[in-house]
Amino acid sequence: MPSDSEPRPMATPPWGTPNSPTPTRSLPSPAPAGEGQPAGSEGPFFLLIEQTVGSGESRRWSVEPLPGGNLPSRPVARQAAEYAARTFSPRHPMSERRRSVYRITPDEFVIVVEGMTMTAHFRVTVVERLA
pLDDT digits (tens, 9 = 90+) for 24-59: 444 444 445 445 545 446 778 999 999 988 888 888
Q: What is the DSSP letter of 86?
A: H
Query: pTM, whole model, 2 decimals?
Result: 0.66
- Report yes or no: 107 and 81 within 8 Å, Cβ to Cβ: yes
Return d(Cα 94, Cα 127) in angstroms, integer.
27
What would the mean pLDDT of 72-81 be, rounded to a whole number? 94
Return d(Cα 33, Cα 45) in angstroms, integer.
15
Q: Which residue has the higher pLDDT, 35 or 118?
A: 118
Q: In what order do the strands lie in the sheet with 96-105?
A: 60-65, 45-53, 119-128, 108-115, 96-105
Using CA atoms, how far residue 51 sits from 31, 75, 77, in Å, is: 26, 24, 19
